[in-house]
Amino acid sequence: MQPNGHSLYTPIPMHVLHAYYESPDRSLKTLELSFDHAEDSQAFFEAFNPGQFCLLSVAGKGESALGVANAAWEGDFVRFTAQNVGSVTAALHKLNAGDPVGMRGPKGNGFPLNDWKGKNLVIIGGGCAFSTLYALTKHVHHESHRDDYGKLTLIYGTRTSGLCMYKHDIAAWHEDEDMEIHQAIDIPEDNWQYHVGYVPDVVKQVAPSPENAVAIVCGPPIMTKFTLPALVDLGFSPENIFTSLEKRMKCGVGKCGRCNLGPQYICKDGPVFSLAELNALPADL
């Protein structure tokens, strides 16, 4: 049962508040959704923790798991950024402000923020998987939480400068002295003033200090695969490296079986795992 008394599988009704493209090639679209019922909103924010995901549903097309890309303090809405890859995300891309959409969530464990208190955070993101890290950064960076954490380092790589998401905030963070931000693109471009290269290389170059720090990695599998060893080389212990995983999901509540990684279900026990936990699980990704 969900807090609103509906079955586990019934989405809560939402409407699109804002819908806009993140990238000039229109492959990334951000949807900001508002709740139809205030009690749904309350239940959502009571349970919400950055790093969690929701299942967005378009009637007749299906459901798709997307990471929540906003912090609770931002207001009474939920933000998602979808890349146009499959049939559901294609349908999501067709939505405009005012259109109805269903949502189930928040699902999953989210980032263990309480355990990270007092530590330096190294946030490493790649491509459109940056969305939950954006939520995390927003959360941590907010004045009411900022004092709980130490130094904030952000490394964000995309294929091109256009594919960089949340450009206004990223630009603001570049100005912000409170935060160290390293942005990278894969292919050199004119007028690009930051790093050029793949994220694992940028991580090696930046070499964040493992001293009292946790690293959070979220990106495409190939990036994660090379970034995790790079961090281990820098001296991060596996307990202090976190990553968020993704697999095909249907139910989102650990029943339909397909997102398992060994005995753990990514939808229910994940999606955030530490490298130490991952090392103990079979490599079934």
Partner 1 sequence: MNHILEKHTLQDLLQSWRQDYDVYLPQKMENFSHFMPLTETSVLVDGDPHNTRIPPKALFLPMNEALVKFTRFGGYEDAKHEIQSRIVFGIRPCDAQAVQLLDTSFIQEDNIDPLWSERREKTITIGLGCHKPCQTGFCTTVGYGPFDRADLDAMLTDLGETYLVETFSEAGEGCFLGLPVASEEIYNQALDIQRSAHDQMPVAFETENLKGKLEQNFKSDYWDTVSQSCLGCGVCTFLCPTCFCFDIVDETQRRERVRNWDSCMFRTYSLEASGHNPRPSRVERTRQRLSHKYVYWLDQVNQIGCTGCGRCVRYCPVGLDIRAMLRQAQTLPFEVSHAA
Partner 2 sequence: MPDIEAIRNEAKRLLNEGVVEVVVAFKAGETPLHPQPAFFRSAEEVDELLYDGLCQNNLAAFLTRLPKQSKVGMVVRGCENRSVNALVVEKQKSRENLFLIGVPCEGILDWHKIVSEVGEAVTAVKEDGQNLMVETRDGYQLLERADFLHDSCKRCIHPNPMSADILIGEPLPEGDPNLARTTVENFETQTIEDRYAWFQKEAERCIRCYACRQACPMCYCEECFVDHIEPRWTESGATPAGMQGWHIVRAFHQTGRCTSCGACERACPMDIKMTYLTEKLNHDMRDKYNFEAGLDAQSQPPFAAVTLDDKNRFTVRGE
Residue from 87, 205, 212, 279 in contact with partner 2 (CB under 8 A): 87
Question: CB 267 → partner 2: shortest distance, Å?
Answer: 20
Under the binding rule (CB under 8 A), the answer on residue 255 touching partner 1 is: yes
Identify the bridge partners of residue 124 per DSSP, sorted by sequence position: 155, 217
Under the binding rule (CB under 8 A), the answer on residue 32 touching partner 1 is: no
Under the binding rule (CB under 8 A), the answer on residue 43 touching partner 1 is: no
Give one word for 12, left, alpha or beta, with left for phi > 0 and alpha for psi -120 to 50: beta
Under the binding rule (CB under 8 A), the answer on residue 38 touching partner 1 is: no
Under the binding rule (CB under 8 A), the answer on residue 220 touching partner 2 is: no
Contacts of 250 (CB under 8 A, 6+ apart): 63, 256, 258
Name the DSSP letter for residue 11: P
Question: CB 85 → partner 2: shortest distance, Å?
Answer: 12
Q: What is the rounded distance in angstroms from the CA atom of residue 258 to the CA atom of residue 71?
A: 29
Residue from 63, 79, 133, 213 in contact with partner 1 (CB under 8 A): 63
Residue from 62, 112, 162, 197 in contact with partner 2 (CB under 8 A): 62
Identify the bridge partners of residue 90 per DSSP, sorted by sequence position: none
Indicate the pairing of strand 77-83 with strand 152-158. unpaired
Under the binding rule (CB under 8 A), the answer on residue 257 touching partner 1 is: yes
Under the binding rule (CB under 8 A), the answer on residue 247 touching partner 1 is: yes
Q: Which is nearer to partner 2, 62 or 197 (CB)?
A: 62
Question: CB 87 → partner 2: shortest distance, Å?
Answer: 5
Q: Give the one entry of partner 2, partner 1, none that residue 284 binds, where binding means its C-beta sits below a cut-off of 5 to 8 angstroms depending on kind.
A: partner 1
- Binding segment (CB under 8 A) for partner 1, from list 22-30, 79-87, 179-187, 211-219: 79-87
Question: CB 63 → partner 2: shortest distance, Å?
Answer: 12
Contacts of 273 (CB under 8 A, 6+ apart): 242, 243, 244, 245, 264, 281
What the block records as the tokens of 227 is 């970034």
Q: Which is nearer to partner 2, 90 or 196 (CB)?
A: 90
Contacts of 116 (CB under 8 A, 6+ apart): 149, 214
> Using CB under 8 A, which residues numbered 212 to 241 contact partner 1?
221
Torsion angle (degrees, nearest 10) of CA 180, 185, 186, 190 = -130
Q: Is the distance from CB of 53 to CB of 80 less than 8 angstroms? A: no
Binding site for partner 1 (CB under 8 A): 1, 6-13, 57, 59-64, 85-89, 99-102, 221, 246-248, 250-251, 253-258, 260, 262-263, 268, 282-285
